[in-house]
Chains A and B, each alone.
Chain A
Amino acid sequence: MNLIRDAFHIGVTDLRHFFRSRMALVSFIVMPVFMMLMMGYIFPSDNSIKGLKIGIVFEDNGIFANMIKSQFEKYSEKYGSFVELSSRQKGIDEIKEGKLVGFFIIPKGFSGDILAGHKTTMILVPDQTNPQLDMAVEQMGSEMVRKMSARIGKENLIRFAKVKGDAFKFLDPISFRTEGIVKGKTSYFDFMAPGVMAMVAVMSVMNGLGVAIARDKEMGTLDGLLVSPISRGSIVIGKIFAQTIRGILQASIILLLAILLFGVTVHGSISLTFFLLILGIFSFIGGGIILTAMAPDQETGMLLMTTVTFPMLFLSGVFFPIQQMPGFMQVISKFFPLTYAASALRKVMILGASIQQVMPEIGMLLLFAVITMGAALPLFGKLVTD
C-alpha cells in the first residue's frame, strides 16, 4: 500500500515537473501533431497521384483516336495534365529532361483496325526512374483502355453479332465487389494510425524513463528520494507511472488528430484501445530499463535506445505491412512487442474486434512484459543508484 502511495507521489511530482516546462509542453504536443501531419500527408491516403504531366503521341487521327483524346481530357481532372506531342522521339527526350512521367502512343491504323474488327494496341512509354509513378500511369492507361475496349466491344457485338439486349452480359459476365466488415473504404491512414499511436506511446516511455531518472540524478533530487525510507521499487514504479500517463496522452493526441484531420473512425471500444496501449507500454518498460541500466551514461543510453527503436519502427508493421517484408525480417518482427500492439490496435480500431479476438496479441504482450520486467528487476537498483 505504501509502495503504491509513494510511487503515486513520485509520479505526480514527475508529471508536474515535466508539464511546467513550457518547452517540454510545446514539444510534447507538437511532436505527435508533426508526426501525424508528416505521415498523413507524405504517405498517400488513397492511390491517386496528382499533378502528373503525361504526353500523348497521336500517330492516328481517326474516330477512335478522337475518342481517346476526349477520355484523356476527362482523366486530366484526376491525374494532371496531358500534352500532345509531335513524335515519339520528342516524348523520349522530354522524359529524359524530366518534363514528363511518360507518354502514350496511339499508333498508326488504330481507328482503322478497330473498325475492321481487328485487335489494336495503345502503347505506354514510362519514365523508368520512378517505378511508383510508372505503376500509377500504367494503371490509369490500362483502366482507360479496358473501359473503352468494353464499350467498343459492346457496340461490335450489337453490330456484328446482332446481339440484342444488354451486350455487356456477354462480354463481361463476371463482376467483382468488395464487402467490408465495417462501412466505407479504409485508407492507408487507417492502417497506420493505430501503429503510430502505439509507437509514440512506447517510444515516449522508453526514452522518457531513462531521461527522468538521469535528470533526477543530475539535479540531486534522486538522493532525496533514495535517502527517504521508501522502497526502491516505488521510485521506479512512480517514474513508470508518470511516463505511462505521458505516453497515453500523446497517443490520445494522435488519435484525436487521426479522427479530426484524417477521417479515421474508431469502430472498436475506446477502453479496449487504451488497455492495449497500456499493455503495449508495459511490454516495453522492462526493455527500456535494461537498455538504460546497461548504458554507462545518458548519452550512450539514448544511442542504444535509438539503435533498437529505429529498426523496430520499420519491422513492426507500423508503416509497411509485415507480409510485404522478406521472410527473415518477418521472423525478426516477431521479437518486437510493437508488432503485436500495432496488430491488436488495428484489429480493434478498424474492425471493432473484441477482447477475445485479440487474445493472442494480448498474450504475447503480457509474455513480453513479464519476461523483460523479470529480467530488469535486478537492474532496478542499479538504475537508481550507480
Chain B
Amino acid sequence: MEAIRAEGLTKQFKDVLAVDQVSFVVKEGEIFGFLGPNGAGKSTTIRMLATLTLPTKGTAYVNGKDVVKESDEVRKSIGLVSEKMILYDRLTAYENLRLFGNLYHLPSKRLNEKIEEFLKLVDMWRWKDHRVETFSTGMKQRVNVIRALLHSPKVLFLDEPTLGLDPQTTRAIREFILKVNDMGTTVILTTHIMSEADAVCQEIGIIDHGKIVALDTPRNLKKNIKSDDVEIIEVEFITLFTDMLNTLQNTHGIDKVIQLDANNLRLHLKKDFGLRSLMKVLSPWSDGIRALNTLEPTLEDVFIKLTGHEMRDQASKKAKKSFAGAGAHRF
C-alpha cells in the first residue's frame, strides 16, 4: 500500500520555481527523508502534501486521496509538525492539546486519556498545566510532536523537527519518531542534517533547487558513491595554509576540497590518484599533519557528488567559497 504518491509536483511562487516536477512514492510504514539545504524546496513539498499549499502543477495522493480534490479526507489522516511550533504560547500544554484534539472531534474522554498517555511518554506530564511560553524549545517541541499525533494519523509530516534543539532533545525526538513508526505510522521527515537522515530514514530523497536528484535507501546511496571511484580522506593539520589549500584545489585527481573547521580538511580523491600522490602534494606541509584517515562515504559526500556543491543554504550558495577558518561550514 502506498502512503504517498507524488507525480510531477510543481510549485511556482511568482518568479521562483520552488518545487520542480517532483515525483516519488512512499510505502506505508516507512520513514522517508527529504534531504537538502534550506530553500531547496523541502518545506514547500511537505506543505503541498499536507494540503496547506496548492500545487501549481502535478498531483499527489496521501493514503490514496488526492490532496487537492479530496483535501478534507487527506487532512483526517495526516499530522503535521512544521518548522514553526503549532502551539499557542499563552495556553498551557494541556489546553493546547485539548484544542487541537477537539478539532479532530475526538471524544472528550478518549482525548484526555490520549493526552495523558502521550504527555507521560515524552516526560511532560508534570508540566501539563504550565503555559507553553515558559517552556524551553525542546519542551515545546515534545508537546508539539504529540499534538500532531493525538488523532493517530496514518502519515506524520515532520518538517525539520530537530531544528534548534539541544542534542539530548534531538535524540529524544528521534527515538520518539522511531517509536511512532513502530506503531505503524508512516513518517515523512525533512532535514538538512545528513546524519539525522542517515540514522532514521529507510528511504531518502535528496532534493536540490526544487528537484529530486537521488532517491534510494541510505545504504545504496552510499554504496553507489563508493563504486564511483571516489576515496574520502580526512586530514587534520596544526594549521591550514592558503597556499596549501590552493595547491590541493588545483591538483588534478582531487575532486573536492572541503574545509571542515580550522584544522580539518575532507578530500575526495579519484581512485587512481591514491594516497601516495596525495602525500607528495602535501610534502611541503607534512610537518603540520596531525592525522590522516580514510573514511566511509557519508550522505554529505553523496550530496556533494550528486550536486557538485556543498550542502549549504541555497540562498548563500552563490557566495564565494572562503577558506578563512571562521567562515568555514561544517555539517
Contacts and interface: CB of A to CB of B under 8 A. Distances in A.
Interface of A: 2, 5-6, 9-10, 13, 16-17, 20-21, 219-221, 223-230, 385-386
A6 B50 CA distance: 20
B72 A229 contact: yes
A219 B144 CA distance: 13
Contact of B85 (A17, A220, A230): A220
**Which 7 residue pairs spanning A and B have beta carbons closest together?**
A220-B84, A224-B86, A20-B90, A228-B103, A229-B75, A229-B76, A227-B80
B150 to A, nearest CB: 10
Interface-centre pick from A6, A16, A224 (highest chain B CB count, 10 A) = A224
B84 A223 contact: yes
A17 B88 CA distance: 7
Nearest to B78: A227
Interface string B209-253: 000000000000000000000000000000000000000000000
A13 B72 CA distance: 23
Contacts of B329: none
B165 interface: no
Contacts of A13: 88, 91, 95, 99
B87 interface: yes
B75 A223 contact: no
Contacts of A6: 102-103
State the main secondary structure of chain B at its contact with A.
Answer: loop
Contacts of A21: 90
Contact of A228 (B82, B83, B104): B104
B89 interface: yes
A385 B54 CA distance: 10
Given A9-B103, A227-B50, A221 B88 contact: yes
Interface of B: 50-53, 72, 75-76, 78-80, 82-91, 95, 99-100, 102-105, 131, 147
Given A6-B102, A228-B103, A229-B103, 12 more contacts: A5-B102, A13-B91, A20-B131, A219-B88, A220-B82, A221-B87, A223-B80, A223-B84, A223-B86, A225-B103, A228-B100, A386-B53
B81 to A, nearest CB: 10
Contacts of B105: 2
5 contacts: A5-B102, A16-B91, A221-B87, A224-B87, A224-B100
Contacts of B83: 220
Nearest to B157: A227
Contacts, number: 70
Contacts of B85: 219-220
A221 B90 contact: no
A269 B78 CA distance: 50
Contacts of A221: 86-88
B87 A16 contact: no
A6 B99 CA distance: 9
Contacts of B76: 229
B261 to A, nearest CB: 33
Nearest to B133: A20
Contact of A226 (B52, B102, B147): B52
A168 B88 CA distance: 77
B71 to A, nearest CB: 9
A212 to B, nearest CB: 12
Contacts of B84: 219-220, 223
A227 B52 contact: yes
A20 to B, nearest CB: 4
A236 to B, nearest CB: 15
Contacts of B99: 9-10, 13
Nearest to A9: B102
Contacts of B89: 17, 219
Nearest to A216: B88
A310 to B, nearest CB: 31
A184 to B, nearest CB: 46
Given A17-B88, A21-B90, A224 B131 contact: no
Interface-centre pick from B80, B82, B88, B103 (highest chain A CB count, 10 A) = B103
Contact of A227 (B75, B88, B90): B75
B118 to A, nearest CB: 16
A386 B90 CA distance: 25
B75 A228 contact: yes
Contacts of B102: 5-6, 9
Nearest to A18: B90
B82 A229 contact: no
Nearest to A14: B88
A229 B104 contact: yes
A20 B100 CA distance: 19
Nearest to A21: B90
A130 B140 CA distance: 63
Contacts of B75: 227-229
B16 to A, nearest CB: 14
Given A6-B103, A228-B104, A17 B72 contact: no
Interface-centre pick from A5, A6, A225, A229 (highest chain B CB count, 10 A) = A229
B19 to A, nearest CB: 15
A114 B283 CA distance: 127
Contacts of A229: 72, 75-76, 103-104
Interface-centre pick from B82, B100, B147 (highest chain A CB count, 10 A) = B100
Nearest to B51: A227
Contacts of B52: 223, 226-227, 385
B90 A16 contact: yes
A103 B83 CA distance: 75
A343 B231 CA distance: 84
Given A16-B90, A21-B90, A223 B131 contact: no
A41 to B, nearest CB: 35
A17 B89 CA distance: 8
A229 B131 CA distance: 26
Contacts of B53: 385-386
B68 to A, nearest CB: 13
Contacts of A10: 99, 103
Nearest to B90: A20
Contacts of B147: 224
Given A229-B72, A229-B104, A224 B80 contact: yes
A13 B131 CA distance: 13
A382 B147 CA distance: 26
Contacts of A2: 105
A220 B95 contact: no
A219 B84 CA distance: 7
A6 B103 CA distance: 6
